[in-house]
Amino acid sequence: MSRDLAGGQIVAGRYRLERCIGRGGMGVVWAATHVVTRREYALKVMLEGAGSEDGRRRLEREARAATAVRHPNVIVVHDVLALDDGTPVMVMDLLEGESLAQRLARDGALPVDTFARLMLPVVSALGAAHAVGIVHRDLKPANIFLATGAGGPGGTVDVKVLDFGIAKLTASEGDAAATAALTNTGTILGTPSYMSPEQVLGETDIDHRADLWALGCIFYESLAGQRPTSADTVGKVLRIILTGSIKPIRDRKSTRPNSSH
């Protein structure tokens, strides 16, 4: 169903699709306008083939995790609904700007003051998630969004942590109640370059330390302009992670467009 969506279409009887603004492994994101309030939202629609029962539960878990955190630097989820064919849709705030991944690809390593200004909200949001029993498990620059003007000269930093789609909810009760049954032993979840060793090994007792590992990788990449686990194959990336053969950041030259090297 998601591949048949088009601009101008009304979904769920109240959202008019405006334009496609992104596409990931599990879903496509549309900018949409509520036909009554005229407020703009982002609609994340599960992709064709991803709308299995497990996929639906993952989207619901993402909504539950994001809602449970209640932090100004975590994306706001307003609703979860379904298209006529049952395809699940998540309704979120519409953000304008770019991801940290796009920023790093364009500008390379960040100046230290900019780095600190952008990363402190991420650390705060992550701490809030961990405090209520949520482990993100897929923290990476693509899932850190910089609102329009964020980090610019004199600009107000507005950073949002996105995509709790594979989050592990470890609390015993409340909005972040445990969902361990959704993950089987030996299942590798996450993005290879930012995975902790326990994620690479497919262990099930993943805790907040996996996010801290990923955060360290993001810090490294933001300051050096290159990933600590860079390699030309996924297998080599995983070997670097498991053997701990990461080159110290002090031995790296900062990679920026205007660098002399």
The residues annotated as belonging to the active site are: 138
Burial of 14: CB neighbours in 10 Å, binned 0-12, 13-18, 19+: middle
Which element (helix H / strand E) includes 80?
Answer: strand 77-82
Please name the residues in contact with 54: beta carbons below 8 A apart, sequence gap of 6 or more. 182
d(CA 60, CA 42): 16
Q: Report CA-CA distances (Å) from 51 to 25, 46, 88, 124, 192.
A: 12, 6, 7, 32, 24
**Residue where the block lists tokens 């900062």:** 254
